[in-house]
Amino acid sequence: MRRRDQTLGRLRPQRAPGAIATDESPGIDGGRRRLLAALLLSPLCCGLASWGTAARGATDRTATGGSVPSLPYQRIIALEWLPVELLFALGVTPLAVAGTRDYRLWVQEPVLPASIVDVGQRTEPNFELITALKPDLILYSQGYGPRPEQLRAIAPAMGFSFTDGQGRPLTTARAGLLALAQRLDRMPAALAHLASFDRELAEAWPRLASYRRQPLLIFSLMDDRHALIIGGTSLFGQVMDQLALANVWQGENNFWGTAVVGIEQLATLPLARAICLDHGDAALTARVAATPLWQAMPFVRRNMLRTVPAIWIYGATLAALRFCRMLQQMEKQW
């Protein structure tokens, strides 16, 4: 993975929780674009020949695999991974997704079927290919990627917020899921999913009792000198609040609920159980692990560091469930 930018930009004012874009969304400045481009994006080229046999339209199935009534929109394209997750939560598989290769590295689950068409980078999708696919609905994330009017020139478009800027991304995700369900006539599926989500978090509460004895540090390595810390106003931070788990990071967070810090700052934090979200960069991990600074980290010296596969920190309810399940799986390994 190429060297990651160490700064996150500040955003312009965002819409209310769960607001659905009907016109141009607030812009996002260059800082986060550069960071996420370095983190997550790489050119992905798809020729027309690659989608000729795969372009079948959205698939709609129940959790048990049985057919349900057809969607009002049969050809759905998702240009950002948050709406991809919302579709899967409703049991809907899109026709096409942007950034499928990096999705499989940074998001991983839900697994993308091989039949899904890749329409290029999330920041700069292939408009010619999107137009040729003849979508009847395009989903995007507000403030990220192409301008909404560019998308509406091709097909109806619907945007989703990640957070309200007040540390409630999970609340925002729930509202976005309901709005999409209303648009797709899938409200029963949305209500069933949210009921299952609430039930699973409630069942996880007693299983995570040991975590309440010590705070948690959740982070990813950005490069040889920087780490991305998951803060209290992030998606996972809100899940931790619901589970009464203390977050050791009490510093300032950006709009997205994260903080980019020098790796040396990790050594100044109180002793905590540390979980590193791995994104397949073994060379970076090895370089950092070999440094005297890293070996002197309290959580390293006390054998309190665990590394787990990536979970998409800018996701919604499915990512939140993966995070909760990961904590349960790790509980006996401390």
DSSP per position, 123-163: SSB-HHHHHHT--SEEEEETTSSS-HHHHHTTS-EEEE-S-
HSE (CB half, 13 Å, CA atoms) of 177? 27
Q: What is the pLDDT of residue 2?
A: 37
Q: What is the pLDDT of residue 194?
A: 98
Q: What is the pLDDT of residue 16?
A: 30
Chain Cα centroid distance, residue 121: 16
Dist CA 24 CA 36 (whole Å): 21
Q: What is the pLDDT of residue 214?
A: 93
Dist CA 82 CA 312 (whole Å): 9
Dist CA 119 CA 257 (whole Å): 29
HSE (CB half, 13 Å, CA atoms) of 261? 20
Please name the helix (run of DSSP H) or strand (run of DSSP E) that holds residue 174, with its range, or none: helix 169-184
pLDDT tens track of the chain, all 334 residues? 333 333 333 233 333 323 333 333 333 333 343 344 334 433 223 333 333 333 445 665 543 344 445 678 889 999 999 999 999 999 999 999 999 999 998 899 999 999 999 999 999 999 999 999 999 999 999 988 899 999 999 999 999 999 987 889 999 999 999 999 999 999 999 999 999 999 999 999 999 999 999 999 999 999 999 999 999 999 999 999 999 999 999 999 998 999 999 999 999 999 999 999 998 889 999 999 999 999 999 999 999 999 999 899 999 999 999 999 999 999 888 8
DSSP per position, 268-288: GSPS-EEEEEE-S-HHHHHHH
What's the burial of 79, exposed, middle or buried (CB within 10 Å: 0-12/13-18/19+)? buried
Strand partners, 226: 262
Strand partners, 158: 139
Q: What is the pLDDT of residue 279?
A: 85
